[in-house]
Structure 1
């Protein structure tokens, strides 16, 4: 599969590495040039593209027209929503996955048609609650 990851932070880097190890074709779009260079060195691959993932031209250059999946993994919920909506409207084919930093935004993303919405905060909260409940037994 061809997958575009928008956001080259810690999570985006781990995600890109895992996808490459699973033999997927990956492009990472990162706003900050230095971060993109570090990402390419870390992964030992020329997969990073510098640009704003909210810009349809940047997404097009990254290959969104042929992508199977576009993952919006920036630290900003609004950017992640824009990335997914632009992908849906402009390129129509790719499945969209968005990371939300504020769990309250999850429902909005789902209502707007984002295919999959992941809240790390919600996942951790649920795991902690489960462990607390297990400790009570």
Structure 2
């Protein structure tokens, strides 16, 4: 099950997958945060995933928050291009993620409990 934004690349790459489109934009948009929280409330109890994985989209936070409450493990991968500072979503998900992955050693200054996995393409 994928939850992502309805954009051209996602539509083509996930054409044969089960997808739910999240509300966009999410960064600092309280109405869409609430819409995506409601989406998480509808989807997570129904599908009960073993793990929630995010690569840094703003939609991650409501899913991580509810996932934490439901005992679903969470894995967050901080984005490649934010070396000296964390993203808003990364800062929100860091305290509640079961596993927080970074791609650069320098990112450990912001996320000291992170695990360096190296650069992913």
Band of TM-score, shorter chain? 0.5 to 0.7
Check whether the contact 1:68–1:95 (CA below 8 A) recurs between aligned residues. yes
Does residue 32 of the first structure (1) align with residue 15 of the second (2)? no
Check whether the contact 2:40–2:62 (CA below 8 A) recurs between aligned residues. no
Which residue number corresponds to residue 100 of structure 1?
A: 78
CA deviations over 1:76-124 (Å, ceiling 9, x no partner): 5xx54444223323xx1210111223466578855x2310101123333
Which residue number corresponds to residue 53 of structure 2?
A: 71
Tell me the TM-score normalised to structure 2 length.
0.53
Which residue number corresponds to residue 38 of structure 2?
A: 57
Does residue 84 of the first structure (1) align with residue 64 of the second (2)? yes
Which residue number corresponds to residue 112 of structure 2?
A: none
Check whether the contact 1:36–1:50 (CA below 8 A) recurs between aligned residues. no
Gaps of 5+ in 1: 1-26, 126-137
Q: Cα RMSD over matched residues?
A: 3.2
Question: How far off its partner does 1:38 sit?
Answer: 0.9
Indicate how the Cα distance of structure 1 residues 108 and 75 shifts in structure 2: closer, same or farther if over 3 A, else same: closer
SS in 1 for 2:14: helix
Q: With CA pairs under 8 Å and 6+ residues apart, which has the higher RCO, 1 or 2?
A: 1
User: How do residues 104-115 of structure 1 correspond to structure 2 at under 5 angstroms?
Assistant: 105=86, 109-110=93-94, 112-115=95-98
- Alignment: residue pair count: 90
Q: Which runs of 4+ in 1 moved over 4 A?
A: 102-110
User: Which protein has the larger Cα radius of gyration, Structure 1 or Structure 2?
Assistant: 1
Gaps of 5+ in 2: 27-32, 106-115
Q: Which has the higher helix share?
A: 1
Give the whole-Å Cα distance in 2 for the aligned partners of 1:51 and 1:99.
Answer: 19
SS in 1 for 2:44: coil
